Amino acid sequence: MFPELERILISKEKIAERVAQMGAEIGADFANRLHAEGVDARSEDSVVIVPIMAGAMIFTADLIRHIPLKLRLELLAVSSYPGTATRSKGAALMSELKADLTGKHVLIVDDILDSGRTLRLVRDLLHERGAASIRAAVLLDKQGVDRVPPPDGHEFAEHVGFEIPDAFVVGYGLDYDGCYRNLPDIGVLRT
Ligand code: IMP
Ligand code: MG
C-alpha cells in the first residue's frame, strides 16, 4: 500500500482475531471483578474507557465493540513523539480530563507500550481523579526497550495484544509524523 513500508508485521486478519479475543477477555475481567463487589457491569454505570488519542483511535473503535458492558468513553490526548521523532521525548498531556472518575472502574487503551512514560502519566492522573480501579490494554508491547519504572504495584498493561520487536511500526492507528494511521495492517517503516 505504501512504498515507505519495509514489510507487514501483523496482518489485518490477525489484528481482528486478537482484538476480538482481547475484548472478550476484558469484558469477562470487568464483569468478574465488579460482580465480586455486587455490581452488574452490563447494566450499572461504572466502567469508563480512556483511549489515548490519536494512536488508540482505531484499536479502541474495534475493541469496544467486543466488550459487552455498559461503558463510557473519555478521550485523552497525550503526545510523546513530536513530529518525525521515533524515540519518546517524554509524555505530555494535550487535553483535559473532564469526567469525575470517583468510584469508576477505568480501562486505559493505547496503541503501543514503548518507554512506559505514557501509561505512567495516565495511570497517575486517573489515580489522582479517584478511579476505583485502573487497568490498561495495549495492542502492541515493544520488547527490548528501556522502560521507566512501572507504576507502584502494577504492570504497565494487564492486557496485551502482541509482543513485537524494537522497530518503528505504523498502521492501524499508529503514525509516523502524523501519517499512515489509515493502513489496515501494522507494518515496519523503512529506515
Ligand atoms: P511510551 O510513552 O514511550 O510508552 O510510548 C507510547 C506512545 O508512543 C504510544 O502511545 C505511541 O503513540 C507512540 N509510539 C511508540 N512506539 C511507536 C511506534 O513504533 N510507532 C508509532 N508510535 C509509537
Ligand atoms: Mg500515543
The predicted structure's pLDDT at residue 81 = 67
The predicted structure's pLDDT at residue 56 = 98
The predicted structure's pLDDT at residue 82 = 67
The predicted structure's pLDDT at residue 80 = 80
Q: In order of start, what are the domains of the chain with their CATH numbers?
A: 13-81+90-168 (3.40.50.2020)
77, β-bridge pairs: 53
**Residue 114 annotated to the active site:** yes
The owner of cell 505530555 is: 92
The identity of residue 104, as a single letter, is: K
pLDDT along the chain (191 residues), means of 10: 91 98 97 89 90 96 97 92 74 84 96 95 93 97 92 89 96 95 96 81
The predicted structure's pLDDT at residue 41 = 82
Q: In 11-145, where do the E strands start and end?
A: 47-53, 71-73, 76-79, 92-93, 105-113, 133-142
DSSP at 163: E
Q: How close is the Cα of 33 to the center of ligand 2, in Å?
A: 28
Residue nearest to atom 11 of ligand 1 (CA): 112
Which residues are placed with Cβ below 5 angstroms of ligand 2, an ion? 55
